[in-house]
Amino acid sequence: VGEFSLIQRYFERPAKSRQDKHTALSIGDDAAVVRVPHNHQLVLTIDTLVEGRHFPVATDPRCIAYKSLAVNVSDLAAMAATPAWFLLSLTLPDVDDDFLSRFSAGLFEAADEFGIHLIGGDTCKGPLSISIQATGYVPMNGYITRANARIGDRIFVSGNIGTAALGLAVIEGKLEIDSELKKLSVQALNQPRPRIDMIPLLRQFASAAIDLSDGLIGDLQHILEQSGVGATLDQSRLPVLDIIREQDLYPLALNGGDDYQILFTVRESEVEAVAKFSVTENIDITEIGVICETGYTMQTSSELIDLSQQRGFDHFVEG
């Protein structure tokens, strides 16, 4: 198959499922055309996943595709942007029908789940690599940045953390756990669920937000640096699996990446309201610390640890 029929076969969907009131022109022309909702701003992001770097060589193509889209949508959610469109740049070593059918199934499974539409892309030959550019929208100036945390704000995180890193440790043979927990943690690693359900809460209550891709310590550090503040975390409050708490595997939750939960801050005066909102809307969030003037520490059961010198995952430092 040539490039053209490859795109048609695997990435163009029947007209009905392509219909989207915000898309004027989709795959098939020189470029796509979108309609920006009235009084909104566009929010744009891009992420690349490279074989052997972001996923092991033998990873199920369905998971590769799902995760490639999930990490982009997670960035949009962290900005409080509603996902709308994405472009897919695919570099393939060859045209492998089995790979492409599974890749395309995972991609559209994710796209349907997140309510985002594939409207174009590019395809070329080379070592396997997937770039996805995703665009969302926010009501005018309704986006949330990393830069607006203030002294006294409380620090919250969605879901639980360290689960994906637990899955990775198991795959790498560094840990043995029971099969149910293994399934759950490997699933968290391979099929992260970006927290689009958090968007209304963030728009209403967050002063700053970031999605957790490189580990809690490093990602919170970004908020602290950009907001010019410090923080103290309370280890006993971290939402982690029992196994992490019981076996003291906290580094998985603190330094492990790939959680794709949302870390955010809330003004002290809004804490009660956010707690109420999370109950009525059934959104799992946990308060884990407080923003202070300077310093970056975590209280454990026995000591106050300095986090300021610990770093998150950095491809160019550790790789």
Residues that bind Mg ion (CB under 5 A): 122
Q: How far is the CB of 10 from Mg ion (least distance, A)?
A: 15
* Residue nearer to Mg ion on the CB measure, 121 or 251: 121
Work out whether 81 is an interface residue with ligand ADP (CB under 6 A): no
β-partners of residue 298 are 233, 305
Nearer to ligand ADP, 9 or 182 (CB): 9
**Judged by CB under 6 A, does residue 28 bind ligand ADP?**
yes
**Smallest distance from ligand ADP to CB 10, Å:** 8
Burial class (CB in 10 A: 0-12, 13-18, 19+), 51: middle
130 in contact with ligand ADP (CB under 6 A): no
The interface partner of residue 202, options being ligand ADP, Mg ion, none and the CB cut-off 5 to 8 Å by kind, is none
CA pair distance 114, 282, nearest whole angstrom? 18
Question: What is the β-pairing status of strands 117-125 and 82-92?
Answer: parallel
Query: Is residue 86 a contact residue for ligand ADP (CB under 6 A)?
Result: no
Tell me the pairing of strands 154-158 and 230-234: unpaired
DSSP string, 264-318: EEE-GGGHHHHHHHHHHTT--EEEEEEEESS-EEEE-SS-EEE-TT-----HHHH
Is 162 a residue that touches ligand ADP (CB under 6 A)?
no
Residue labelled with tokens 């219909």: 19
CA distance 244 to 210: 23
- H/E segment holding residue 85: strand 82-92
Which of residues 92 and 262 has its CB atom nearest to ligand ADP in the complex?
92
Residue 121 binds: one of Mg ion, ligand ADP, none (C-beta under 5 to 8 A by kind): ligand ADP
Nearer Cβ to Mg ion (124/273): 124
Q: How far is the CB of 153 from ligand ADP (least distance, A)?
A: 41
Residue choice 97, 122, 268, 306 for contact with ligand ADP (CB under 6 A):
122
Positions touching ligand ADP (CB under 6 A) are: 3, 7, 11, 27-30, 88, 90, 118, 120-123
